[in-house]
Amino acid sequence: MNPVSVRVLLVRGMLAGLVAGLLALVVAYLLGEPRVDAAIDFEEAHSHDHGVELVSRSLQSTAGLATGVLVYGVALGGIAALAFCVALGRIGRFGPRATALMVSMGSLLAVYVVPFLKYPANPPSVGDPDTITKRTTLYFLMIALSVLLGIAAVILGKRLAPRLGNWYATVVASAALVLVIGLAYAFLPAVNEVPKDFPATVLWQFRLAALAIQCTLWAAFGLLFGHLAERVLTPRTAPDRQSGTATRPAAPVN
């Protein structure tokens, strides 16, 4: 792929990430913010140490939320676009749309779902402030392991395909991936700092909302970027050839 196409796809990836971020922002505001408010109410009711609020809650839930989600969407859109450029034509004979959707869904699994199952998202008031560095390190370690293992599984499947065929190579590579991730789950330390009296309904609704935000972001990105990438890599014909046949000049009259 030439550098011009990569640059164009990068820009379109960031644009698709911005649009996907807008959709994820709507989900975050409608599903996530009410659970955050409920968690904050729990914290205020059970804590006697009320610090000074540097940023108002109304600003956090509007401009702060929008800035965070949109910047996140644009950044991940650019990274995913570069991953698409690497994957196109190397993971099978898939077109731009299918490749974009596969990269998007694979990124969702590797970057969010697999780490989420080990270290799920927690609302405010959950977690010991003294362990935040440890928890953050473990979470990013799980992301790194998930991404590297996912890439290794793809490479393994490609190398096994000539001997086992695509179907069995995919099954073996997927089974190996699940096995190694299971071992990582078993050996990495668990983190469970949810207060005993914290409402279970609020906790699970918050986690489901966090998952819904990520699913919305990556699904929207995959569909939109696939459309934009296909237009770049397989441009349409001229308007006078949209019917599939060129317009021939009239024969001269003798």
Give residue 149's pLDDT. 94
Q: Are residues 116 and 205 in the same domain?
A: yes
* Average pLDDT estimate for 131-158: 91
Q: Are residues 221 and 168 in the same domain?
A: no
Give me the amino acid identity at 44: E
Residue 52 placed within a domain: no
Q: Are residues 8 and 112 in the same domain?
A: yes
Residue 249 placed within a domain: no
When the pLDDT of each residue in the chain is averaged and rounded to a whole number, the result is 84
* Average pLDDT estimate for 129-150: 90
Give residue 190's pLDDT. 87
| Rg (the chain; Cα; Å) | 23
Tokens of 147: 């991404």
| Burial (Cβ within 10 Å: 0-12, 13-18, ≥19) of residue 107 | buried
Residue 174 placed within a domain: yes
Q: Are residues 138 and 26 in the same domain?
A: no
Dump pLDDT digits (tens) for 16-53: 999 999 999 999 999 988 888 888 887 777 665 555 56
Please tell me the total count of domains within the chain. Answer: 2
How many angstroms separate the CA atoms of 149 and 39, rounded?
Answer: 35
Residue 115 placed within a domain: yes
DSSP-derived secondary structure letter, 125: T
Reported as a pLDDT band with limits 50, 70 and 90, residue 247 is very low
Residue 170 placed within a domain: yes
Dump pLDDT digits (tens) for 217-235: 999 999 999 999 888 888 6
Q: Are residues 31 and 150 in the same domain?
A: no
Residue with tokens 């308007």: 239
> By percentage, how much of the chain surpasses pLDDT 70?
86
Dump pLDDT digits (tens) for 66-88: 899 999 999 999 999 999 988 88
Q: Are residues 73 and 109 in the same domain?
A: yes
Residue 57 placed within a domain: no
**Cα dihedral value 67, 69, 75, 79, nearest 10:** 180
Q: Are residues 23 and 80 in the same domain?
A: yes
Show which of 162, 193, 224 is a domain's final residue: 193
Tokens of 118: 């080990």
Q: Are residues 28 and 114 in the same domain?
A: yes
Give residue 52's pLDDT. 55
* Average pLDDT estimate for 164-183: 92
Give residue 199's pLDDT. 83
Give residue 40's pLDDT. 80
More confident residue, 193 or 2: 193
Q: Do 32 and 210 meet the contact criterion of CB atoms below 8 Å apart?
A: yes
Give residue 251's pLDDT. 44
Q: Which residues fall within 8 angstroms of residue 125, CB to CB, at 6 or more apart?
A: 39, 40, 42, 43, 46, 47, 195, 198
Dump pLDDT digits (tens) for 104-123: 999 999 999 999 999 998 88
Question: Which domain, by its residues, includes 158?
Answer: 127-193
Q: Are residues 215 and 115 in the same domain?
A: yes
Residue 94 placed within a domain: yes
How many angstroms separate the CA atoms of 59 and 61, rounded?
Answer: 6
How many angstroms separate the CA atoms of 117 and 207, rounded?
Answer: 10
Q: How far is CA 112 from CA 38, 80, 106, 119, in A?
A: 24, 14, 10, 10
Judge whether residue 12 has pLDDT over 60: yes
Judge whether residue 165 has pLDDT over 60: yes
Q: Are residues 1 and 69 in the same domain?
A: yes
Q: Do 223 and 23 meet the contact criterion of CB atoms below 8 Å apart?
A: no
Judge whether residue 246 has pLDDT over 70: no
Residue 253 placed within a domain: no
Q: Are residues 161 and 220 in the same domain?
A: no
| Burial (Cβ within 10 Å: 0-12, 13-18, ≥19) of residue 28 | buried
Q: Are residues 3 and 111 in the same domain?
A: yes
